[in-house]
Amino acid sequence: MPFINSKVNVPLTEEVKEALKTKLGQAISLIPGKSENWLMVSLEDNCSLYFKGKNNTKMAFIEVKIFGRAAERDYERLTEEISKIYRDTVGIAQDKIYIKYEEAEHWGWNGTNF
């Protein structure tokens, strides 16, 4: 049950949101055992983001939360893929994207915990 929360400082059309959701759903399977089947995605646009004191360029902050653990090499591959997705789909330069990973030991679903 991964969760991807993304904030960008530009507006996103419904078409772009759909494309991001689909591409992120494919990318998450770079982490063994994860898939779009359990993926929840939040796409926040028009956020007030500042990087290095400035807000005059497109930027993104993306959080990836997973239940359990993953290997460093899988996070490396996912960072590469997510950065390409936001570059190709939203036009954000790779050096204006932060990606944060979190591993959760406790995850609730359907009224109980895994």
CB of 84 to ligand LHHHV7D2, least distance (A): 23
Q: How far apart are CA 107 and CA 93, in angstroms?
A: 33
CB of 38 to ligand LHHHV7D2, least distance (A): 4
Q: How far apart are CA 60 and CA 97, in angstroms?
A: 5
- Between 24 and 59, whose beta carbon lies closer to ligand LHHHV7D2? 24
- Where does this chain bind ligand LHHHV7D2 (CB under 6 A)? 1-2, 34, 38, 67, 114
- Between 20 and 39, whose beta carbon lies closer to ligand LHHHV7D2? 39
SS3 33: coil
Dihedral (Cα; 55, 44, 91, 99), 10-degree rounding: 80
